[in-house]
């Protein structure tokens, strides 16, 4: 079985001494997130985030004119900007590794002019921001991530087995994931290994899978390049991670994990009768029709989850024309009986918008006729299934320890900005659900208003009472709740002194409410406020 240390056209990771030398060179040159930002300045850094290279290139050229140019300019020129450099520059900036070492690692290739070299990959600094904390075994710190060069660095259509780097989707998943300690975790569709980076901060062992050998080679290189920061012994990497080749759950059938994360190749792509694996962009296209990848995972992940184990993933799903308000119906049908689920839809695109986004992503607009044909293929594919729009969002799943317990099934659309990282808030919300499910009498609970909650009142000029009262969250999912007079009065009394039942009784007397439905209806509204985090139980 391949250990993916030597795969054609991918970085090579057999020589652990050379990887250690490279890490030392990069760190000494200041090639870190903060170092690059400080070197380029705010405007050039912001432009680079937009894949606009010119301001950074100008900064590097200005640095070359200095009496003693900083070593940092070389890796920026080479790997972030895709510029050609000379052997003497490489040897001076990265003296431990040198030009020959970089060639041996597969990070550079010879240029067209003798004695010049250019990047074979994108190699950039990275810093974790997932809401988790480092440990003695995995303290975190400055990291480096190799991936394939983008079209802004190397013009042209991406190669079909392109290995994606640090994108917004992978960052979103890292910030969504709950970072509680676990024994075994699975990174399904690891790509260049970003999710495994984060998982190793709180998992004893991570299994990472992908359908691409090149992706697994990139992942292995990245993990071993950052071995000290990730708590990996380069001589015994299997103690911390395992890499496996295969599609979906096939490589791990019969095993169980406490946590699964996945940024799968979920992009909905028109299928043709003549395509082969070599025709697909493997980093985004799993080969199934429509949203089949997401359907397969939502229905099948339970089989590899330990009891109580959770899974978090990103995905697209098709919404039938005219059913936009009922977008969750199909997703609910995919879920096994014993699975809890919380799906948050963050965005919705029309078929033309969706086609344009993914054609642009792979730089497929250079040939007009090819672009027209591909665009038409997307529209025809969606029309064949009567798709009116495509939803994008996140999925949280849990295999219930007790199949007979109350099910958590939540499907909601949240399109406004939320706090990042949001993982800790998702975990707190699940804990509140479990507390409510295990509480036989909410009326006996003592509640407090969460610290981030504010009240907002709107009324006509001269009016005696407000016409609209809103509760707003300043943190987490930043929800807004429209309040009734009764519920406003209840919340204003939640200082932890009186029980929920005592407050309800006092309100009934104050408002002269003698109807039998008053208390149960109010308690249901209170329950929703607890579930959403506006109210929290008094600890202890």
**DSSP string covering 438-457, please?**
H-S-GGG-EEEE-TTEEEEE
Any domain includes 496: yes
155-169, 204-218, 421-435, 472-486, range with the lowest pLDDT: 155-169
Instruction: Assess whether 340 and 459 both reside in one domain.
Output: no
In this structure, the strands spanning 143-147 and 116-119 are: unpaired
Instruction: Assess whether 302 and 348 both reside in one domain.
Output: yes
Residue with tokens 């190749």: 265
- Paired tokens of 317: 């799903």
Residue 111 phi, psi (nearest 5): -80, 180
Looking at the DSSP assignment, which residues form a beta bridge with residue 305?
257
Instruction: Assess whether 193 and 269 both reside in one domain.
Output: yes
Is residue 414 helix, strand or coil?
coil
Q: pLDDT tens-digit profile of 49-61?
A: 998 999 999 999 9
In this structure, the strands spanning 241-245 and 203-210 are: parallel
Looking at the DSSP assignment, which residues form a beta bridge with residue 392?
316, 347
Residues 269 and 272: their CA atoms lie apart, in Å, by: 10
Residue with tokens 């799906």: 343
- What distance lies between CA 62 and its chain's CA centroid? 36
Any domain includes 92: no
Any domain includes 455: yes
Q: pLDDT tens-digit profile of 122-178?
A: 999 999 776 565 544 444 579 999 999 988 888 887 888 899 999 899 999 999 999
CB proximity list for 153: less than 8 A, separation 6 or greater = 53, 80, 81, 82, 119, 122
Residue with tokens 């397969």: 296
Residues 239 and 248: their CA atoms lie apart, in Å, by: 23
Q: What Rg, from alpha-carbon coordinates, does the chain have?
A: 27
For residue 145, which of 182, 190, 188, 187 has the smallest C-alpha distance? 190
Q: pLDDT tens-digit profile of 325-353?
A: 999 999 999 999 999 999 999 999 999 99
Q: pLDDT tens-digit profile of 478-530?
A: 999 999 999 999 999 999 999 999 999 999 999 999 999 999 999 999 999 99
DSSP secondary structure string for all residues of 114-164:
TTEEEESSEEEEE---SS----SS-----EEEEEPPPTTTS-SPPPTT---
- Residue ending a domain, among 419, 453, 474, is 419
Find the helix or strand (DSSP H, E) in which 19 lies. Answer: helix 16-28
Any domain includes 97: no
In this structure, the strands spanning 116-119 and 108-110 are: antiparallel
Residues 245 and 2: their CA atoms lie apart, in Å, by: 9
Q: Dihedral sign, CA of 4, 289, 173, 151?
A: positive
- What distance lies between CA 12 and its chain's CA centroid? 26
CB proximity list for 410: less than 8 A, separation 6 or greater = 341, 342, 343
Instruction: Assess whether 453 and 406 both reside in one domain.
Output: no
Looking at the chain, how many residues does it have?
540
- Paired tokens of 100: 């020959």
Count the Cβ atoms, other than its own, within 10 Å of residue 510: 10
Q: pLDDT tens-digit profile of 291-317?
A: 999 999 999 999 999 999 999 999 999
The helix/strand count (H/E) of the chain reads as: 19, 19
State the pLDDT at residue 277: 67
In this structure, the strands spanning 535-537 and 495-499 are: unpaired
Average pLDDT of the residues in 204-223 = 97
State the pLDDT at residue 226: 98
Q: Is the pLDDT of residue 273 over 50?
A: yes
Can you give 386-411 as a three-state secondary structure string? CEEEEEEEEEEEEECCCCCCCCCEEE
pLDDT-derived band at 283, boundaries 50, 70, 90 = confident
| Integer angstrom CA distances of residue 326 from 176, 330, 412, 414, 435 | 24, 9, 10, 15, 29
Any domain includes 93: no
Instruction: Assess whether 286 and 356 both reside in one domain.
Output: yes
State the pLDDT at residue 139: 46
| Integer angstrom CA distances of residue 368 from 162, 268, 360, 372, 378 | 22, 22, 13, 6, 16
Instruction: Assess whether 290 and 342 both reside in one domain.
Output: yes
Instruction: Assess whether 251 and 396 both reside in one domain.
Output: yes
Q: pLDDT tens-digit profile of 478-487?
A: 999 999 999 9
Q: Is the pLDDT of residue 187 over 80?
A: yes
- Residue ending a domain, among 370, 389, 419, is 419
Find the helix or strand (DSSP H, E) in which 87 lies. Answer: helix 87-93
CB proximity list for 496: less than 8 A, separation 6 or greater = 446, 447, 448, 538
Instruction: Assess whether 391 and 269 both reside in one domain.
Output: yes
Residues 263 and 268: their CA atoms lie apart, in Å, by: 14
- Residue ending a domain, among 390, 419, 448, is 419
Residues 216 and 148: their CA atoms lie apart, in Å, by: 13
Residues 426 and 179: their CA atoms lie apart, in Å, by: 10
Q: For residues 298, 300, 301 and 302, what is the CA-based torsion angle, rounded to 10 degrees?
A: 110
| Integer angstrom CA distances of residue 353 from 229, 266, 284, 375, 391 | 41, 16, 17, 10, 12
State the pLDDT at residue 200: 97
State the pLDDT at residue 140: 55
Q: Is the pLDDT of residue 540 over 70?
A: no
Find the helix or strand (DSSP H, E) in which 98 lies. Answer: helix 98-105
Domain hosting 307: range is 167-419
Residues 531 and 540: their CA atoms lie apart, in Å, by: 18
Burial 226-237 (b: 16+ CB within 10 A, else e): bbebbbbeeeeb
Instruction: Assess whether 459 and 404 both reside in one domain.
Output: no
Instruction: Assess whether 408 and 528 both reside in one domain.
Output: no
- Paired tokens of 524: 């249901």
476: which DSSP letter?
T
Any domain includes 84: no
Instruction: Assess whether 331 and 372 both reside in one domain.
Output: yes
Residues 379 and 387: their CA atoms lie apart, in Å, by: 9
Average pLDDT of the residues in 17-41 = 97
Residues 148 and 416: their CA atoms lie apart, in Å, by: 32
Q: What is the CATH number of the domain that holds 265?
A: 3.40.50.150
pLDDT mean across residues, the chain: 93
Any domain includes 366: yes
Q: What is the CATH number of the domain that holds 517?
A: 3.90.930
Instruction: Assess whether 209 and 343 both reside in one domain.
Output: yes
Residue with tokens 């590899």: 304
Any domain includes 300: yes
Question: 301, 209 in Cβ contact below 8 A?
Answer: no
pLDDT-derived band at 288, boundaries 50, 70, 90 = confident
Residues 264 and 209: their CA atoms lie apart, in Å, by: 11
Q: Dihedral sign, CA of 120, 125, 130, 134?
A: positive
Q: What's the total number of domains in the chain? A: 2
């Amino acid at each position: 079985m391949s250990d993916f240390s030597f795969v054609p056209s991918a970085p090579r990771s057999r020589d652990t001494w050379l990887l250690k030398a490279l890490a030392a060179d990069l760190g000494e040159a200041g090639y870190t997130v903060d170092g690059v930002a400080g070197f380029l300045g705010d405007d050039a850094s912001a432009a680079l985030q937009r894949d606009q290279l010119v301001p950074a290139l100008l900064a590097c050229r200005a640095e070359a004119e200095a009496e003693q140019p900083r070593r940092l300019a070389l890796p920026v020129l080479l790997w972030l900007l895709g510029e050609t450099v000379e052997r003497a520059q490489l040897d001076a900036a990265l003296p431990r590794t040198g030009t020959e070492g970089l060639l041996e690692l597969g990070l550079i290739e010879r240029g067209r002019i003798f004695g010049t070299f250019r990047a074979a990959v994108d190699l950039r600094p990275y810093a974790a921001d997932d809401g988790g904390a480092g440990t003695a075994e995995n303290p975190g710190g400055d990291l480096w991530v190799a991936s394939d060069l983008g079209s802004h660095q190397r013009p042209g259509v991406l190669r079909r087995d392109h290995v994606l780097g640090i994108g917004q989707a992978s960052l979103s998943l890292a910030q969504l994931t709950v970072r509680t300690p676990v024994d075994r975790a699975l990174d399904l569709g690891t790509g260049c290994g970003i999710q495994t980076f984060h998982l190793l901060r709180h998992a004893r062992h991570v299994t990472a899978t992908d359908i691409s050998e090149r992706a697994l080679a990139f992942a292995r290189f990245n993990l071993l390049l950052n071995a000290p920061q990730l708590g990996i012994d380069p001589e015994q990497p299997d103690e911390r991670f395992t890499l496996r080749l295969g599609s979906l759950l096939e490589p791990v059938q019969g095993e169980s994990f406490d946590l699964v994360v996945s940024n799968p190749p979920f992009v909905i792509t028109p299928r043709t009768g003549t395509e082969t694996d070599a025709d697909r962009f493997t980093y985004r296209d799993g080969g199934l029709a429509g949203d089949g990848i997401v359907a397969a995972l939502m229905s099948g992940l339970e089989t590899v989850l330990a009891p109580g184990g959770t899974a978090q993933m990103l995905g697209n799903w098709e919404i039938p024309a005219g059913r936009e308000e009922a977008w969750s119906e199909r997703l609910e049908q995919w879920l096994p009986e014993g699975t809890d689920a919380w799906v948050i839809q963050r965005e919705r695109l029309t078929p033309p918008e969706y086609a344009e986004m993914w054609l642009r992503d792979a730089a497929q607009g250079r040939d007009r006729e090819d672009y027209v044909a591909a665009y038409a293929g997307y529209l025809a594919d969606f029309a064949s299934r009567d798709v009116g729009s495509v939803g994008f969002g996140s999925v949280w799943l849990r295999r219930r320890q007790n199949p007979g317990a109350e099910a958590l099934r939540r499907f909601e659309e949240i399109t406004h900005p939320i706090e990042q990282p949001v993982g800790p808030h998702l975990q707190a919300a699940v804990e509140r659900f479990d507390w409510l499910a295990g509480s036989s009498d909410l009326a006996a609970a003592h509640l407090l208003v969460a610290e981030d909650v504010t009240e907002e009142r709107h009324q006509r000029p001269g009016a005696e009472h407000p016409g609209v009262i809103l509760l707003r969250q300043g943190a987490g999912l930043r929800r807004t709740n429209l309040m009734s007079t009764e519920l406003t009065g209840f919340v204003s009394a939640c200082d932890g002194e009186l029980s929920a039942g005592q407050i309800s009784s006092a309100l009934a007397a104050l408002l002269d409410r003698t109807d039998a439905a008053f208390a149960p209806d109010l308690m249901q509204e209170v329950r929703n406020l607890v579930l959403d985090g506006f109210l929290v139980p008094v600890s202890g």
